[in-house]
Amino acid sequence: MAELKQNTVTGESSLVSPSGQLATSANFIDAYTYGMVYNPDVKKDIHLQRGKGKLLPFCAITGSLLPFASDQVQHAELGELHQSHRDVMFNPVDSTFTTTSKHNLRSGEIIIISDGTIERQAVVDQITSETSFTGKNKQAGVFGFNGGLTISKFSNSWGKGEGNFTKGRRDTPEFKYNYAHIIKEFYDTPESDMAHHTWYETPGYGKGEGWNTTEVQRTIDSHANLEELTHLLHRRSDEASDATVAGYARGMKGIVQQIEEGGNIGNGVIEDIEELSDIAFRIKQQGGATAYSWWHDHKQSAAFRRMLASVNANYLNGGNYGMFNNSKETAIELGFKEVFIDGITFHSSELTTLDEPELLGSQKFRNTSVQSLMMPLGEANVLESGDQYSRPHLTIRYRQKNGINRYRKTKIFGGPYGTDHKRDTMEIHVESEMTNQVIGANQFFVFRRGNGIYLGN
């Protein structure tokens, strides 16, 4: 049996690139980066590997990857410019209105009022507390309200020569936080069992060449899958939980958790156009975007196919392709189908992670896990570190500071590839310090499989 050596008679490594480079961690390149940057023809073969979903590659394609420098990411969001109040109580004796939260009204402002049957307008007269005020009817006679009211400020009116308000309105930003999450992967093999590696031409990367092996790429793929699942599903441990008390890191809030805490939730498959119309109406109420990416499992995909078969061409044309550089062909290449419903474009694509039989497609998860996820496209204005920025609604972020980049950082020890160490092994250590930033969670939607997972009205 032939014994293939990995060195020359002078003791130098024979595992070098065509130009004489040694294979080191500095010129290792993962297959997805090679396909995206240097050889697009193989991108589809890499992109659709079994077990790899598409959330993170999609974020990379749309440019929504950013660094962060501290142990947490925070930004401020401003709520609605206008404010309405529900379940307002009314005392007809003295025309006092009592709200369930601060009304933020000023004397002289005009409100519109409804009890579900009749509608009236009133001028705010006296502010008696942060949650109560008196109002003057703008019509002759009594208000005639019955039951709880809904009110909304919409105007004010002044006479000639009169002064102005003496108190200005103030917006109080709501601060949103997410936290650093460190995720790791490890691979080792006896030095004598190491497989050969392949060199790629990579102009502009390293010294023009990068290398890869099947075993190392499998490790990178496993790490990437864990990253994706963590971004999607991870729940930050409660401060008083057993896991936290035992000293385990609490981690970050995943996308689903943030939507559940501040967005729109639902159960089951979206079956028809009318249900999508209801969602479009909710999007408009929430001040959402005019285009959404809709990631879902196979069951929802089948329902979407039946949905499209029942509509005419008006629903299938005229959509917004801004997320694909205004190219319908690019959308099709990436596996998206689109439908235009009541002013909202839904770009639909399967998220294979949801059906992977060893992940969320396994047994009981098919009854409880995520069925579909809707994300607004475009950008939103946020306050971060005292400055205003335009950010995508979803940004995947990796720790980077003072020349240290912890985006899928790969260290190689042993063998001809890596730094020498005492063990007779080659080891691959992969580490990412990451978080994500969901901006405007009230515009996101998550649906779970089955009925009764999410409770409420």
Q: Is the pLDDT of residue 192 over 50?
A: yes
Residue 1: its pLDDT value, please? Answer: 32
| Distance separating alpha carbons of residues 266 and 307, to the nearest angstrom | 19
Residues 249-281 pLDDT 10s: 999 999 999 999 989 999 999 999 999 999 999
Helix (H, G, I), strand (E, B) or coil at 381: strand
Mean pLDDT of 149-164: 92
- Average pLDDT on 16-36 reads 54
- Asked if residue 85 has pLDDT above 80, the reply is yes
SS3 312: coil
CA dist., res. 30 & res. 28, Å (int)? 7
**Mean pLDDT computed over every residue of the chain:** 78
Mean pLDDT confidence for 222-239: 89
Q: Which of the residue ranges 91-105, 219-233, 382-396, 424-438 has the most confident prediction, judged by mean pLDDT?
A: 91-105
Q: What pLDDT, in 10s, does the model give residues 371-408?
A: 999 999 888 777 666 677 777 888 888 887 766 667 77
Q: What is the DSSP string of 147-180?
A: S-EEEEEEEE---TT----SS-----PEEEEEE-
Other Cβ atoms within 10 Å of 92 Cβ, number = 10
**399: its two tokens:** 């720790």
- Could you tell me the pTM of the whole model? 0.74
Let me know: does 374 contact 339? Beta carbons within 8 Å. Answer: no
Ramachandran angles phi, psi of 152, nearest 5°: -150, 135
| Local structure of residue 13 (DSSP, 8 states) | B
Identify the pLDDT of residue 6: 46
Mean pLDDT highest for which of 57-61, 205-209, 315-319?
Answer: 205-209
Nearest to 107 by CA among 92, 122, 88: 122
* Closest to 398 measured CA to CA, from 42, 62, 73: 73
pLDDT of residue 32: 52
Q: Give the model's confidence band at 10: pLDDT under 50 very low, under 70 low, under 90 confident, else very high.
A: very low
Question: What is the average pLDDT across 147-155?
Answer: 94
**Do you know the residue count of the chain?**
457
Contacts of 291 (CB under 8 A, 6+ apart): 319, 320, 322, 323, 344, 345, 347, 376, 377, 378
Convert the pLDDT of each residue in 118-143 to its tens digit: 999 999 999 999 999 999 999 999 99
At 25 the pLDDT is 54
- Helix (H, G, I), strand (E, B), or coil: what is residue 329? helix
211 forms beta bridges with 28, 199
Task: Name the 3-class secondary structure at 360.
Answer: coil
Query: Which of 21-30, 158-167, 188-197, 236-245 is the most confident on average?
Result: 236-245
Name which CATH class applies to 84-156.
Answer: mainly beta
Report the DSSP beta bridge partners of residue 76. Answer: 175, 383
**Phi (first) and psi of residue 35, to 5 degrees:** -65, -40
Q: CB–CB of 188/424 below 8 Å?
A: no
The structural domains of the chain, with segments of one domain joined by +, span: 41-76+178-199+212-448, 84-156
pLDDT at 330: 56
